[in-house]
Structure 1
Protein backbone atom coordinates (compact mmCIF):
# COMPACT_ATOMS: atom_id res chain seq x y z
CA UNK A 1 0.00 0.00 0.00
CA UNK A 2 1.20 3.47 -0.82
CA UNK A 3 0.05 6.88 0.39
CA UNK A 4 0.90 10.37 -0.84
CA UNK A 5 -0.33 13.96 -0.49
CA UNK A 6 -3.54 14.51 -2.48
CA UNK A 7 -2.32 17.49 -4.49
CA UNK A 8 -4.72 19.72 -6.41
CA UNK A 9 -6.59 16.79 -8.00
CA UNK A 10 -6.81 13.90 -5.54
CA UNK A 11 -8.43 11.57 -8.08
CA UNK A 12 -5.63 12.11 -10.63
CA UNK A 13 -3.02 11.74 -7.88
CA UNK A 14 -4.61 8.47 -6.73
CA UNK A 15 -4.67 7.11 -10.29
CA UNK A 16 -1.02 8.04 -10.90
CA UNK A 17 0.05 6.53 -7.56
CA UNK A 18 -1.94 3.35 -8.25
CA UNK A 19 -0.29 2.96 -11.66
CA UNK A 20 3.14 3.44 -10.07
CA UNK A 21 2.40 0.81 -7.41
CA UNK A 22 0.94 -1.56 -10.02
CA UNK A 23 4.10 -1.13 -12.09
CA UNK A 24 6.05 -2.79 -9.29
CA UNK A 25 3.84 -5.89 -9.58
CA UNK A 26 3.06 -6.22 -13.33
CA UNK A 27 4.64 -4.78 -16.44
CA UNK A 28 2.87 -2.01 -18.34
CA UNK A 29 -0.22 -1.72 -16.11
CA UNK A 30 -3.34 -0.21 -17.66
CA UNK A 31 -5.90 1.48 -15.43
CA UNK A 32 -9.52 0.89 -16.41
CA UNK A 33 -12.81 1.47 -14.62
CA UNK A 34 -15.74 -0.92 -14.26
CA UNK A 35 -19.23 0.33 -15.03
CA UNK A 36 -19.69 1.14 -11.33
CA UNK A 37 -16.50 3.27 -11.33
CA UNK A 38 -14.33 0.73 -9.51
CA UNK A 39 -10.68 0.95 -10.63
CA UNK A 40 -9.30 -2.16 -12.35
CA UNK A 41 -5.85 -3.17 -13.54
CA UNK A 42 -5.71 -6.49 -15.38
CA UNK A 43 -3.81 -9.11 -13.39
CA UNK A 44 -4.19 -7.32 -10.04
CA UNK A 45 -6.68 -6.69 -7.29
CA UNK A 46 -6.59 -2.93 -6.63
CA UNK A 47 -8.27 -0.32 -4.47
CA UNK A 48 -7.88 3.38 -3.87
CA UNK A 49 -9.13 6.05 -1.52
CA UNK A 50 -8.64 9.77 -1.29
CA UNK A 51 -9.35 12.36 1.36
CA UNK A 52 -8.91 16.12 1.51
CA UNK A 53 -5.19 15.86 2.16
CA UNK A 54 -3.92 12.49 0.92
CA UNK A 55 -4.49 9.45 -1.23
CA UNK A 56 -3.98 5.76 -0.47
CA UNK A 57 -3.73 2.91 -2.96
CA UNK A 58 -3.39 -0.85 -2.59
CA UNK A 59 -2.63 -3.63 -5.03
CA UNK A 60 -1.97 -7.34 -4.89
CA UNK A 61 -1.61 -10.15 -7.39
CA UNK A 62 -4.34 -12.45 -6.06
CA UNK A 63 -7.48 -12.27 -3.98
CA UNK A 64 -9.39 -9.12 -3.20
CA UNK A 65 -8.47 -5.93 -1.40
CA UNK A 66 -10.26 -2.81 -0.23
CA UNK A 67 -8.77 0.32 1.32
CA UNK A 68 -10.32 3.40 2.88
CA UNK A 69 -8.80 6.55 4.29
CA UNK A 70 -10.33 9.41 6.28
CA UNK A 71 -8.59 12.53 7.58
CA UNK A 72 -8.95 13.22 11.28
CA UNK A 73 -10.28 16.74 11.82
CA UNK A 74 -13.01 18.04 14.14
CA UNK A 75 -16.50 17.34 12.81
CA UNK A 76 -19.89 16.24 14.01
CA UNK A 77 -20.49 12.54 13.35
CA UNK A 78 -23.08 11.54 15.94
CA UNK A 79 -26.00 11.91 13.49
CA UNK A 80 -24.33 9.64 10.94
CA UNK A 81 -23.43 7.15 13.65
CA UNK A 82 -27.00 7.02 15.01
CA UNK A 83 -28.34 6.53 11.48
CA UNK A 84 -26.02 3.76 10.36
CA UNK A 85 -24.39 2.06 13.35
CA UNK A 86 -26.03 -0.55 15.54
CA UNK A 87 -26.29 -0.16 19.35
CA UNK A 88 -23.11 -2.17 20.05
CA UNK A 89 -21.12 0.02 17.63
CA UNK A 90 -22.57 3.20 19.13
CA UNK A 91 -21.65 2.01 22.60
CA UNK A 92 -18.12 1.10 21.50
CA UNK A 93 -17.46 4.42 19.79
CA UNK A 94 -19.07 6.41 22.65
CA UNK A 95 -19.07 9.64 20.64
CA UNK A 96 -15.31 9.44 19.94
CA UNK A 97 -14.41 10.72 16.45
CA UNK A 98 -11.40 8.42 16.06
CA UNK A 99 -13.48 5.35 16.97
CA UNK A 100 -16.20 6.46 14.53
CA UNK A 101 -13.60 6.77 11.76
CA UNK A 102 -12.19 3.34 12.58
CA UNK A 103 -15.63 1.79 12.06
CA UNK A 104 -16.45 3.91 9.00
CA UNK A 105 -13.18 3.17 7.17
CA UNK A 106 -13.43 -0.53 7.98
CA UNK A 107 -16.98 -0.66 6.56
CA UNK A 108 -15.84 1.16 3.40
CA UNK A 109 -12.77 -1.07 3.00
CA UNK A 110 -14.91 -4.21 3.35
CA UNK A 111 -17.38 -2.91 0.75
CA UNK A 112 -14.53 -2.18 -1.66
CA UNK A 113 -13.02 -5.65 -1.11
CA UNK A 114 -16.43 -7.14 -1.91
CA UNK A 115 -16.69 -4.95 -5.01
CA UNK A 116 -19.96 -3.33 -3.93
CA UNK A 117 -18.84 -0.29 -1.93
CA UNK A 118 -21.46 0.83 0.56
CA UNK A 119 -24.41 -0.42 -1.52
CA UNK A 120 -26.59 -3.18 -0.11
CA UNK A 121 -26.53 -1.82 3.46
CA UNK A 122 -22.74 -1.53 3.57
CA UNK A 123 -22.78 0.90 6.48
CA UNK A 124 -24.90 -1.55 8.45
CA UNK A 125 -22.39 -4.35 7.84
CA UNK A 126 -20.75 -5.34 11.15
CA UNK A 127 -16.97 -5.01 11.29
CA UNK A 128 -14.59 -5.85 14.12
CA UNK A 129 -13.78 -3.10 16.62
CA UNK A 130 -10.11 -3.98 16.27
CA UNK A 131 -8.14 -5.84 13.63
CA UNK A 132 -9.49 -9.26 12.75
CA UNK A 133 -12.07 -11.30 10.88
CA UNK A 134 -15.26 -9.64 9.67
CA UNK A 135 -17.97 -11.69 11.35
CA UNK A 136 -20.69 -10.45 9.00
CA UNK A 137 -18.65 -11.47 5.91
CA UNK A 138 -16.86 -14.79 6.48
CA UNK A 139 -13.44 -14.92 4.86
CA UNK A 140 -12.69 -11.18 5.07
CA UNK A 141 -10.25 -9.57 7.48
CA UNK A 142 -9.79 -5.93 8.49
CA UNK A 143 -6.51 -4.34 9.52
CA UNK A 144 -6.07 -0.71 10.53
CA UNK A 145 -2.71 0.93 9.88
CA UNK A 146 -1.06 3.82 11.72
CA UNK A 147 -1.01 7.06 9.74
CA UNK A 148 -0.50 10.54 11.24
CA UNK A 149 -3.62 12.67 10.94
CA UNK A 150 -5.72 9.98 9.29
CA UNK A 151 -7.41 6.63 9.83
CA UNK A 152 -6.60 3.92 7.29
CA UNK A 153 -8.25 0.50 7.02
CA UNK A 154 -7.63 -2.36 4.64
CA UNK A 155 -9.83 -5.40 4.03
CA UNK A 156 -8.43 -8.63 2.59
CA UNK A 157 -9.81 -12.03 1.74
CA UNK A 158 -7.00 -13.74 3.62
CA UNK A 159 -5.45 -12.97 6.98
CA UNK A 160 -2.17 -11.04 6.57
CA UNK A 161 0.99 -11.46 8.63
CA UNK A 162 2.58 -8.24 7.43
CA UNK A 163 1.33 -5.23 5.51
CA UNK A 164 3.83 -2.75 4.16
CA UNK A 165 2.61 0.86 3.97
CA UNK A 166 4.92 3.18 2.06
CA UNK A 167 4.38 6.94 2.33
CA UNK A 168 5.51 9.11 -0.57
CA UNK A 169 6.07 12.87 -0.57
CA UNK A 170 5.65 13.80 -4.21
CA UNK A 171 8.11 11.55 -6.03
CA UNK A 172 10.29 10.99 -2.96
CA UNK A 173 9.87 8.12 -0.52
CA UNK A 174 9.00 9.48 2.93
CA UNK A 175 8.71 6.43 5.19
CA UNK A 176 7.73 2.79 5.34
CA UNK A 177 5.66 1.25 8.14
CA UNK A 178 5.41 -2.49 8.60
CA UNK A 179 2.31 -3.55 10.47
CA UNK A 180 2.58 -7.04 11.94
CA UNK A 181 -0.53 -9.01 12.77
CA UNK A 182 -1.16 -12.39 14.31
CA UNK A 183 -2.53 -13.73 11.02
CA UNK A 184 -0.67 -16.41 8.99
CA UNK A 185 -0.13 -14.98 5.43
CA UNK A 186 2.21 -12.24 4.09
CA UNK A 187 0.80 -9.35 2.06
CA UNK A 188 3.17 -6.74 0.67
CA UNK A 189 2.15 -3.57 -1.13
CA UNK A 190 5.43 -2.56 -2.73
Structure 2
Protein backbone atom coordinates (compact mmCIF):
# COMPACT_ATOMS: atom_id res chain seq x y z
CA UNK A 1 0.00 0.00 0.00
CA UNK A 2 1.34 3.42 -0.92
CA UNK A 3 1.89 6.15 1.62
CA UNK A 4 -0.27 9.24 2.02
CA UNK A 5 0.88 12.78 1.50
CA UNK A 6 1.08 14.69 4.79
CA UNK A 7 0.49 18.46 4.82
CA UNK A 8 0.93 21.33 7.23
CA UNK A 9 -0.25 24.91 6.72
CA UNK A 10 0.57 27.69 9.17
CA UNK A 11 0.82 31.47 9.34
CA UNK A 12 4.33 32.78 8.75
CA UNK A 13 5.97 34.15 11.83
CA UNK A 14 3.78 32.08 14.15
CA UNK A 15 5.60 31.22 17.37
CA UNK A 16 5.20 27.48 16.89
CA UNK A 17 6.36 27.58 13.26
CA UNK A 18 8.50 30.64 12.54
CA UNK A 19 9.79 29.40 9.18
CA UNK A 20 9.07 26.98 6.38
CA UNK A 21 12.07 24.90 7.41
CA UNK A 22 10.88 24.68 11.02
CA UNK A 23 7.41 23.62 9.88
CA UNK A 24 8.87 21.02 7.52
CA UNK A 25 11.12 19.59 10.25
CA UNK A 26 8.15 19.49 12.63
CA UNK A 27 6.12 17.52 10.08
CA UNK A 28 9.06 15.26 9.18
CA UNK A 29 9.63 14.42 12.85
CA UNK A 30 6.21 12.71 12.87
CA UNK A 31 7.29 10.50 9.96
CA UNK A 32 10.99 9.70 10.48
CA UNK A 33 13.34 9.64 13.47
CA UNK A 34 15.65 12.63 13.83
CA UNK A 35 15.07 14.25 10.41
CA UNK A 36 17.98 16.17 8.93
CA UNK A 37 17.19 18.96 6.48
CA UNK A 38 19.65 19.72 3.70
CA UNK A 39 19.31 21.30 0.26
CA UNK A 40 20.36 20.08 -3.16
CA UNK A 41 22.35 22.16 -5.66
CA UNK A 42 19.18 23.93 -6.83
CA UNK A 43 18.07 24.81 -3.30
CA UNK A 44 15.34 22.18 -3.03
CA UNK A 45 14.86 20.85 0.50
CA UNK A 46 15.88 17.25 1.20
CA UNK A 47 15.15 15.00 4.16
CA UNK A 48 16.47 11.41 3.92
CA UNK A 49 13.65 8.89 3.66
CA UNK A 50 11.03 11.42 2.54
CA UNK A 51 9.88 13.32 -0.52
CA UNK A 52 9.30 16.90 0.66
CA UNK A 53 8.18 20.24 -0.72
CA UNK A 54 7.76 23.78 0.65
CA UNK A 55 5.74 26.80 -0.44
CA UNK A 56 5.21 30.12 1.27
CA UNK A 57 3.59 33.47 0.78
CA UNK A 58 3.62 36.69 2.80
CA UNK A 59 1.17 35.30 5.35
CA UNK A 60 1.26 31.50 5.04
CA UNK A 61 3.65 28.60 4.77
CA UNK A 62 2.74 25.12 3.51
CA UNK A 63 4.82 21.96 3.59
CA UNK A 64 4.24 18.45 2.29
CA UNK A 65 5.97 15.15 2.95
CA UNK A 66 5.51 11.58 1.80
CA UNK A 67 7.52 8.41 1.90
CA UNK A 68 7.31 8.34 -1.89
CA UNK A 69 7.85 10.94 -4.58
CA UNK A 70 7.57 12.84 -6.73
CA UNK A 71 5.93 15.54 -4.64
CA UNK A 72 5.32 19.25 -5.11
CA UNK A 73 3.28 21.88 -3.29
CA UNK A 74 2.36 25.46 -4.13
CA UNK A 75 0.43 28.13 -2.29
CA UNK A 76 -0.91 31.49 -3.44
CA UNK A 77 -2.83 34.00 -1.36
CA UNK A 78 -6.14 35.23 -2.71
CA UNK A 79 -5.71 38.98 -3.20
CA UNK A 80 -6.96 41.28 -5.95
CA UNK A 81 -4.77 41.26 -9.06
CA UNK A 82 -5.13 41.42 -12.82
CA UNK A 83 -4.66 37.82 -13.96
CA UNK A 84 -5.83 38.20 -17.56
CA UNK A 85 -2.49 39.19 -19.13
CA UNK A 86 -0.70 36.19 -17.61
CA UNK A 87 -3.56 33.78 -18.30
CA UNK A 88 -3.92 34.92 -21.92
CA UNK A 89 -0.19 34.61 -22.52
CA UNK A 90 0.49 31.25 -20.88
CA UNK A 91 -2.66 29.19 -20.46
CA UNK A 92 -3.99 26.79 -23.07
CA UNK A 93 -7.31 27.64 -24.79
CA UNK A 94 -9.16 24.92 -22.85
CA UNK A 95 -7.79 26.33 -19.57
CA UNK A 96 -8.97 29.82 -20.50
CA UNK A 97 -12.39 28.43 -21.40
CA UNK A 98 -12.54 26.62 -18.05
CA UNK A 99 -11.62 29.85 -16.22
CA UNK A 100 -14.45 31.70 -18.02
CA UNK A 101 -16.98 29.16 -16.75
CA UNK A 102 -15.95 29.48 -13.09
CA UNK A 103 -17.86 31.76 -10.71
CA UNK A 104 -14.62 33.17 -9.27
CA UNK A 105 -12.13 33.95 -12.06
CA UNK A 106 -9.29 34.82 -9.66
CA UNK A 107 -9.61 31.56 -7.73
CA UNK A 108 -9.82 29.65 -11.01
CA UNK A 109 -6.62 31.31 -12.20
CA UNK A 110 -4.92 30.51 -8.89
CA UNK A 111 -6.01 26.87 -9.10
CA UNK A 112 -4.38 26.55 -12.52
CA UNK A 113 -1.28 28.50 -11.51
CA UNK A 114 -0.67 26.57 -8.27
CA UNK A 115 -1.27 23.26 -10.06
CA UNK A 116 1.40 24.14 -12.64
CA UNK A 117 3.83 25.25 -9.91
CA UNK A 118 3.21 22.10 -7.86
CA UNK A 119 3.78 19.89 -10.92
CA UNK A 120 6.98 21.78 -11.73
CA UNK A 121 8.22 21.24 -8.19
CA UNK A 122 7.31 17.54 -8.30
CA UNK A 123 9.22 17.17 -11.58
CA UNK A 124 12.13 19.21 -10.24
CA UNK A 125 11.93 21.71 -13.11
CA UNK A 126 9.82 24.52 -11.69
CA UNK A 127 8.21 26.58 -14.44
CA UNK A 128 11.24 26.23 -16.74
CA UNK A 129 10.93 24.61 -20.16
CA UNK A 130 7.31 25.56 -20.80
CA UNK A 131 6.03 24.82 -17.31
CA UNK A 132 3.13 27.25 -17.59
CA UNK A 133 2.00 25.44 -20.72
CA UNK A 134 2.81 21.94 -19.45
CA UNK A 135 -0.18 19.66 -18.88
CA UNK A 136 -0.09 17.43 -15.83
CA UNK A 137 1.97 14.45 -16.96
CA UNK A 138 0.73 10.88 -16.67
CA UNK A 139 1.60 9.43 -13.30
CA UNK A 140 0.94 12.63 -11.34
CA UNK A 141 -2.25 13.77 -9.65
CA UNK A 142 -2.95 17.35 -8.56
CA UNK A 143 -5.40 18.13 -5.77
CA UNK A 144 -6.47 21.40 -4.16
CA UNK A 145 -6.95 20.72 -0.43
CA UNK A 146 -9.20 23.23 1.31
CA UNK A 147 -7.65 26.15 3.18
CA UNK A 148 -9.16 28.77 5.46
CA UNK A 149 -10.27 30.66 2.34
CA UNK A 150 -7.44 33.16 2.10
CA UNK A 151 -5.26 30.96 -0.11
CA UNK A 152 -5.29 28.38 -2.88
CA UNK A 153 -3.15 25.30 -2.24
CA UNK A 154 -2.14 22.65 -4.79
CA UNK A 155 -0.35 19.36 -4.18
CA UNK A 156 1.10 17.23 -6.99
CA UNK A 157 1.94 13.64 -6.15
CA UNK A 158 2.26 10.19 -7.68
CA UNK A 159 -1.08 9.08 -9.10
CA UNK A 160 -2.97 6.55 -6.94
CA UNK A 161 -1.98 3.08 -7.98
CA UNK A 162 1.48 4.43 -8.75
CA UNK A 163 2.29 5.85 -5.31
CA UNK A 164 0.21 8.05 -3.02
CA UNK A 165 -3.21 6.79 -1.99
CA UNK A 166 -4.67 9.78 -0.18
CA UNK A 167 -3.86 13.24 1.09
CA UNK A 168 -4.06 13.85 4.83
CA UNK A 169 -3.89 17.07 6.81
CA UNK A 170 -1.70 16.81 9.90
TM-score, normalised via structure 2 length: 0.85
Per the alignment, residue 3 of structure 2 pairs with: none
Deviations along 1:162-190, one digit per CA (max 9) or x if unpaired, are 31123xxxxxxxxxxxxxxxxxxxxxxxx
Q: Following superposition, which runs of at least 4 residues in structure 1 exceed 4 angstroms of deviation?
A: none
Specify which of 146, 154, 164 is matched with residue 168 of structure 2. 164
Per the alignment, residue 68 of structure 1 pairs with: 74
Deviation at 1:121, TM superposition (A): 0.9
Deviations along 1:115-134, one digit per CA (max 9) or x if unpaired, are 111111111112xxxxxxx3
Mark the runs of 5 or more structure 2 residues left unpaired by the alignment: 1-6
Question: How does 1:41-190 map onto structure 2 within 5 Å?
Answer: 41-94=47-100, 96-126=105-135, 134=136, 137-148=137-148, 149-159=150-160, 160-166=164-170
Per the alignment, residue 175 of structure 1 pairs with: none
TM-score, normalised via structure 1 length: 0.77
More strand by share: 1
Greater RCO structure (CA 8 Å; 6+ sep): 2
Structure 2 CA distance, aligned partners of 1:81 and 1:74? 15
